[in-house]
């Protein structure tokens, strides 16, 4: 289980706390609420398969857009970025680039059966880049694209997305 949440603004803490207090009262967690009917094995803990789940081109496009948008914003000096009407931070971009690297590295089949390849990633990146450049022309999109390419197309998985970005800061 998980007894926690994340809020985008301190003013939302009372809203979240009210919901938790309704369930938890004065307890800090629900560790006392055991479920003996549930048996979890070590294999269960590492199984990331989603029943009937598929990697979609729309998901790949969203990941590319998020990666580019966050990196461009980060290179401009912002630790968080408004992306698709949400405040996103490095964790969101980290998930996006990690999925793209995994899908490309392992040639994961998209919903149409075709593999995610470096060429497919690059084509999607070019399309997303054109869209983003026209809507927000002031960002350094070329640097963001070069950085995302480095992260997604590398043979080795980079430890964290911003580490290689520091050298690009003005």
| pLDDT tens-digit series, residues 68-111 | 999 999 999 888 888 888 888 899 999 999 999 999 999 999 99
Predicted confidence (pLDDT) at residue 140 exceeds the cutoff of 70: yes
Rounded distance between C-alpha atoms, residue 161 and residue 170, angstroms: 17
Neighbours of 26 (CB within 10 A): 5
pLDDT-based confidence at residue 112 (cuts at 50, 70, 90)? very high
- Whether residues 40 and 73 share a domain: the answer is no
Q: What percent of the chain has pLDDT over 90?
A: 64
Domain membership of residue 94 (yes or no) is yes
pTM above 0.75, yes or no: yes
**Domain tally, the chain:** 2
- Whether residues 31 and 69 share a domain: the answer is no
Domain membership of residue 1 (yes or no) is no
- Output the pLDDT for position 19: 92
Residue-range definition of the domain harbouring residue 97: 57-168
Predicted confidence (pLDDT) at residue 167 exceeds the cutoff of 90: no
Per the structure block, which two tokens stand in for 149? 């390419």
Q: Which of 99-103, 139-143, 155-159 has the lowest mean pLDDT?
A: 139-143
pLDDT-based confidence at residue 153 (cuts at 50, 70, 90)? very high
Predicted confidence (pLDDT) at residue 23 exceeds the cutoff of 70: yes
Measured in degrees and rounded to the nearest 5, phi and psi for residue 55 equal -80, 125
Buried/exposed 118-148: b ≥16 CB within 10 Å, e otherwise: eebbbebbeebbeebbeeeeebbbebbbebb
Domain membership of residue 51 (yes or no) is no
| pLDDT tens-digit series, residues 48-80 | 777 888 999 999 999 999 999 999 999 998 888
Rounded distance between C-alpha atoms, residue 31 and residue 11, angstroms: 28
Give, as one character, the DSSP assignment of residue 166. G
- Whether residues 105 and 139 share a domain: the answer is yes
Buried/exposed 75-110: b ≥16 CB within 10 Å, e otherwise: beeeeebebeeeebbbebbbebbbbbbebbbeeeeb
Give, as one character, the DSSP assignment of residue 47. -
- Output the pLDDT for position 66: 96
- Whether residues 134 and 71 share a domain: the answer is yes
Q: Angle CA(54)–CA(60)–CA(161) in degrees, nearest 5?
A: 120
- Whether residues 102 and 33 share a domain: the answer is no
- Whether residues 42 and 96 share a domain: the answer is no
Question: Any idea what the CATH number is for the domain that residue 77 is in?
Answer: 1.20.1220.12
- Whether residues 77 and 160 share a domain: the answer is yes
- Whether residues 64 and 38 share a domain: the answer is no
Predicted confidence (pLDDT) at residue 1 exceeds the cutoff of 70: no
Domain membership of residue 163 (yes or no) is yes
């Amino acid at each position: 289980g998980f007894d926690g949440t994340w809020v985008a603004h301190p003013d939302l803490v009372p809203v979240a706390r009210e919901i938790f207090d309704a369930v938890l009262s004065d307890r800090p967690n629900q560790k006392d609420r055991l479920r003996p009917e549930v048996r979890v094995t070590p294999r269960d803990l590492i199984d990331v398969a989603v029943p009937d789940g598929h990697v979609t081109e729309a998901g790949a496009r969203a990941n590319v857009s998020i990666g580019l948008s966050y990196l461009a914003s980060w290179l401009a000096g912002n630790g968080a970025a408004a992306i698709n009407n949400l405040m996103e931070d490095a964790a969101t971009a980290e998930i996006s680039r990690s999925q793209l690297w995994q899908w490309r590295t392992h040639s994961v089949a998209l919903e149409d059966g075709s593999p995610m390849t470096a060429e497919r990633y690059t084509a999607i990146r070019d399309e997303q880049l054109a869209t983003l450049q026209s809507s927000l022309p002031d960002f350094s999109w070329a640097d963001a694209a070069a950085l995302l390419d480095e992260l997604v197309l590398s043979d080795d998985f980079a430890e964290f997305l911003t580490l290689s970005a520091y050298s690009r800061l003005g």
